[in-house]
Amino acid sequence: MKINPPLLAAAEEALGRVLTMTQPADAVLSSYFRAHRELGQHDRAFIAETIFGVLRRRYGLEYHIAATTPRRLLLAYLNRVHGVSLRQLEPLLGRDDALWAAALKSTRDGAPLPLYVAAELPPWLTAMLAAEMPEAEILALGRALAQPALLDLRVNALLTTREKVLQQLVIEGINARPTPHAPFGIRLDGNPALSRNPLFTSGRIEVQDEGSQLLCLLLAPKRREMVVDFCAGAGGKTLALGALMQSQGRLYAFDVSEARLNKFKPRLKRSGLSNVHPQLLANENDIKVKRLAGKIDRVLVDAPCSGFGTLRRNPDLKWRQSEAGIAELAAKQRAILSAAAALLKPGGRLVYATCSFLRVENQDIVAAFLAAHPQFGLVPANQVLEQQRIALDTGEFLQLYPQHHGCDGFFAAVMARAK
């Protein structure tokens, strides 16, 4: 695609707004595009892809070539990562930029890189990870998170089969294959538009990362049970749980955000499920929760977390999260898990999950919960998956990493209340 000065100026303006880090990058871009309807589809795609590319590689761009302004970050990314030559960029350069660009050839490429630069992760996060894993693993994790995520789908088994969906995608010229572990998952190459595809509009498929699908399989809800998705959000996991229950029993979708539950409504309508009951909560101690205490068979807690496991999709989190914010989240995670556990009847199953790979949000939360709630015991996640004929063994906890499993980073612990 030819990059002209107006297009670069639009990308520069949009990136400048994103770099304030006051809102998620995708929300900022959506707002920017609504205000600039003159931008065509290809222009918008270029702006979005380039800005997300800059966010994925920002530490390296700033370290190597002092690209610190939105314009220079864009130019450096186009040259160093996207492969646009300096000669091709020349028409876009002013005098000052031209002098700066001439220095791109004399960078510190040969010098040893600080680990945080090589891994494209915040220094504080790199230091936190260094206490948990070897340097080579941090580097592999960071490099995997710096790549765009592939698109995973979940087939709605109430309405069709994975084989039929794969056949239809092949007919439409979309490269697709089964996910390695999730039995209803499909992985696509590229990012094809699906919002108007009949498979999507009819509810036969939903966009859902394979790791997210595996969390639902750990809960393993059964027909006619009472089940709660405690932090339902926009309902992706709720829909997967409802399908596993074959639309029988009663499935509550709890969340404290009315906006998220409103986004869930059209998805629920498409799904064909009749056993789902969305509930807006004021907080984790809402009376709606207390009324169900001791009555629920299974509870999924996909807790609010740093989201670092989703950096492939949300690279701006590297600057919007902080070490202090992680500590605040841990307190919230402990409170939510304790409130959710009170719902379970004797013999019930509790799954605590995050899209994070940090021990402070995962193993530490589970250990503190088990110490304070002796009526609960840990159930090895590998045993639960083996019972469902899923050949995936990450030990007593489910711990997924993009560099090893090809999906987002997820953690989950399975716990059971004593009978």
Residues 216, 305, 355, 407: which is the catalytic one? 355
First-to-last alpha carbon distance for the chain, in angstroms, is: 63
Q: How many CB atoms lie within 10 A of CB 209?
A: 30
* Contact status, residue 50 vs residue 74, Cβ threshold 8 Å: yes
* Contact status, residue 263 vs residue 207, Cβ threshold 8 Å: no
Strand 250-255 versus strand 276-280 pairing type: parallel
**Residue 49 has which token pair?**
């892809």
**Residue 24 has which token pair?**
């998620």
E strand or H helix that includes residue 188? strand 185-188
User: Could you confirm whether 355 is annotated as catalytic?
Assistant: yes
Q: Is 389 left (phi over 0), alpha (psi -120 to 50) or beta?
A: left
Give me the residues paired with residue 302 across strands: 353
DSSP assignment of 358-396 equals -GGGTHHHHHHHHHH-TTEEEE-HHHHHHHTT------S
Q: Residue 194 corresponds to which amino acid?
A: L
Which residues contact residue 293 at a Cβ distance below 8 angstroms, ignoring those fewer than 6 apart?
342, 343
Of 308, 260, 280, which is closest to residue 145 (Cα–Cα)? 308
Residues annotated catalytic, as ranges: 355
